[in-house]
Amino acid sequence: MTFTDAVAKSKTLSEKPDNETLLKLYSLYKQATEGDASEEKTYGMFDFKEKFKHEAWLKLKGMNTAEAEAQYIALVESLSGDSLRK
């Protein structure tokens, strides 16, 4: 499965993942596509959803694109119950 395939597959999962898993998917996707998160906080004081997303992404600082893509693919495969890697 390629990273692009995994992104598409993540949008068609039969069950919505829990919030912790959604944050992991988000942070791995952002790390794979944009690299390290900025330390700057661009969300409002009461925007907790954006705060949690930003903090999850910051935890991956230093992870390279290939590793983020590989972890994203593995997570989507485990959530889908498929072993689509060929």
In three state form, how does the secondary structure of 12-81 look?
Answer: CCCCCCCHHHHHHHHHHHHHHHHCCCCCCCCCCCCCHHHHHHHHHHHCCCCCCHHHHHHHHHHHHHHHHC
Q: What is the pLDDT of residues 30-62, one digit of tens each?
A: 999 999 999 998 899 999 999 999 999 999 999
For the chain, what is the mean pLDDT? 93
Q: pLDDT tier at 29 (50, 70, 90 boundaries)?
A: very high
Instruction: Indicate the class that CATH gives domain 3-80.
Output: mainly alpha
Residue 16 above 50 pLDDT? yes
User: What local confidence, expressed as pLDDT, does residue 83 receive?
Assistant: 52
Single pTM value for the model: 0.88
